[in-house]
Amino acid sequence: MITILEAILSLDPDANVTVCGGGTDDITWRDGTTAIPIAEIDAEVIRLEAEYDAQEYARNRQAEYPAIADQLDEIYHNGINAWKAVIKVTKDKYPTG
């Protein structure tokens, strides 16, 4: 889940802001930081969540790929085509979004 603070910092990386409690009513803008309208923050939360969700396949693949040392060992002992076959199992299990 994307937080309001993550959305604010995505919109303005230099924002000096405090978010207590996690709700849009709990935002305190500090040191001259221009407040970002709540509608823009809400839209950014939705955009960032969609971006995160679209990368689920990549996170799943990363968790299942063999360690690099094991992949190199596979290439050394069995060749590139055998390595490709090992990797393809995970790629097929988690196709690109």
Report which DSSP code applies to 35: P
Handedness of CA 62, 63, 65, 68 (dihedral sign): positive
Q: What is the pTM of this model?
A: 0.74
Same domain, 18 and 40: yes
Which tokens in the block code for residue 72? 């190199």
Q: How many domains does the chain have?
A: 2
Q: What is the pLDDT of residues 17-73, one digit of tens each?
A: 999 876 777 899 999 999 999 999 999 999 999 999 999 999 999 999 999 999 999
Specify if 60 maps to a domain: no
Q: Could you tell me the end-to-end alpha-carbon distance of the chain, in angstroms, rounded to an integer?
A: 19
Same domain, 45 and 8: yes
Same domain, 43 and 16: yes
Same domain, 9 and 49: yes
Task: Tell me the residue range of the domain where 42 lies.
Answer: 4-54
Same domain, 72 and 32: no
